[in-house]
Amino acid sequence: MDYMLLVNNIKKYCDPFKSYVWRNLDRPITRKEIKESLSKEKDKILKGYNFLLQSFDENERIGHILRIAYFSICGWKDSISIDVGIPNFCNVNWFVIDGNHRLAAAIFRRDEEMLVNFSGSIEFGKELGLYVEKVTVDRMVELVDTIK
């Protein structure tokens, strides 16, 4: 189910700028790297997704940086997916299943909230401060309109 969650609350547990999110990288990506790519590579970033895929083939680190930069500029319409697990049954260390680049972009842009497909225990999510609200159709339309 999709919910609006506060980015800072997700960041408390899953901060792609402080953690080893992407395998094969020797250190976390930094905000400085995103800023530099936006100033040096903005035209290339705006070429879109095919350029980003080529970047991964050439240099995986640069590919991740450019993808975050792309989402920082262009935004996204779909939710990220997180799973907090179920206490005493299934513990999860990193909640983000899909959407680490979008989360990094939201953190980079200092977005207040983002759309999240939430899995796992709602009660545990509330304890963690992650659960906020169920998204209504009107709220979803409002969010999509802000991206356009």
**Best CA proximity match to 25, nearest among 53, 65, 54:** 65
pLDDT band at 135 (very low <50, low <70, confident <90, very high): low
Whether pLDDT at 131 is above 70? no
Cα 144 from Cα 72, distance rounded (Å): 15
pLDDT at 63: 86
Q: Which H/E stretch holds residue 90? A: strand 90-91
pLDDT in tens, 105-116: 999 999 999 999
pTM of structure = 0.83
* Residue 82 backbone phi and psi in degrees, to 5: -125, 150
